[in-house]
């Protein structure tokens, strides 16, 4: 038994990594090889797919647009959620618990429900097809999530810390920026990660609210299915590049997320 204890984890990891490997594998093949033969590694190794993405502006602009609205959304969500979460964790006010619950219920509706009102509203006010339109639409889902996660972290900080700072002579803004925010830095990291991920993988709103100028990468990827047939190699390369930003963010917040789980909110 002892000799085979490596078996189950190994199988599990293979199972998890296989689709990613296959995507990577495909991205270095030509479309002909993908469709023609079954091969575990690229027979005709090519970087042509990646070259197309990095040189064709319709391709790399897709990434650029996606990252723009995702970063914008993350900044908006965290900035708005910080004071809101502070209020929920430190003050008692009329209906505070109901308001907190209502915030969460926003996340229970599927994004598709909001696609039409957003589309109509943004067309009317001239926000349609801008990164800000997508960022604001995603904020509807991300701000409640951010408030909820941050409130958990903030409630873990004893109120006496606030009192101590006031007694030491700190004004509220000075306390908030110099002491409180550094204290919950890991919470902010975790929150930023979750808002980033939601915005990065959300497709429907991003596609509905843009046409040409602010087209996200996921929408660009649909053009591989054109009249000339499927460009599977190109699609695979685009997929690989789409995984990378998420992987980078996860790498930076991996320790904080563990802490967040320990604090019971993530």
Site residues for another protein per CB under 8 A: 158, 160-161, 163-171, 174, 179, 182-183, 185
Q: Which residues of 43-77 are buried (b: 16+ CB within 10 A; e: fewer)?
A: eeeeeebbebbeeeeebbbbbebbbbbbbbbbebb
Shortest distance (Å) from residue 265 CB to another protein: 18
Shortest distance (Å) from residue 257 CB to another protein: 19
Of the pair 118, 180, the CB lying nearest another protein is at 180
Of the pair 184, 219, the CB lying nearest another protein is at 184
Shortest distance (Å) from residue 149 CB to another protein: 19
Shortest distance (Å) from residue 160 CB to another protein: 5
Shortest distance (Å) from residue 184 CB to another protein: 10
Residue 253: CA count within 13 A, CB half-sphere: 23
| Euclidean distance between the first and the last CA atom of the chain, given in angstroms as a whole number | 36
Shortest distance (Å) from residue 100 CB to another protein: 20
Of the pair 17, 185, the CB lying nearest another protein is at 185
Residue with tokens 């079954």: 38
**Widest Cα–Cα separation across the chain:** 74
């Amino acid at each position: 038994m002892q000799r085979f204890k490596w078996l189950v984890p190994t199988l599990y990891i293979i199972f998890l990594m296989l689709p990613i490997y296959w995507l990577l594998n495909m991205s270095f093949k030509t479309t002909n090889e993908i469709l023609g033969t079954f091969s575990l590694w690229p027979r005709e190794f090519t970087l042509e797919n990646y070259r197309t993405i990095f040189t064709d502006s319709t391709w790399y602009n897709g990434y650029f647009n996606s990252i723009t609205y995702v970063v914008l959304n993350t900044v908006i969500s965290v900035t708005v959620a910080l004071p809101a979460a502070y209020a929920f964790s430190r003050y008692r006010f009329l209906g505070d618990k109901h308001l907190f619950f209502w915030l969460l219920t926003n996340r229970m509706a599927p994004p598709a429900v909001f696609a039409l009102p957003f589309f109509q509203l943004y067309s009317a006010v001239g926000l349609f097809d801008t990164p800000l339109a997508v960022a604001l639409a995603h904020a509807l889902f991300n701000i409640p999530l951010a408030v909820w996660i941050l409130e958990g972290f903030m409630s873990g900080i004893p109120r006496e810390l606030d009192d101590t700072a006031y007694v030491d002579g700190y004004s509220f803004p000075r306390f908030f920026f110099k002491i409180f925010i550094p204290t919950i830095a890991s919470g902010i990291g975790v929150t930023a990660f979750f808002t980033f991920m939601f915005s990065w993988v959300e497709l429907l709103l991003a596609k509905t609210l843009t046409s040409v100028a602010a087209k996200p990468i996921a929408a660009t990827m649909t053009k591989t299915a054109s009249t000339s047939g499927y460009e599977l190699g190109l699609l695979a390369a685009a997929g690989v590049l789409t995984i990378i930003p998420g992987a980078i963010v996860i790498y930076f917040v991996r320790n904080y997320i563990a802490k967040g789980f320990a604090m019971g909110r993530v």
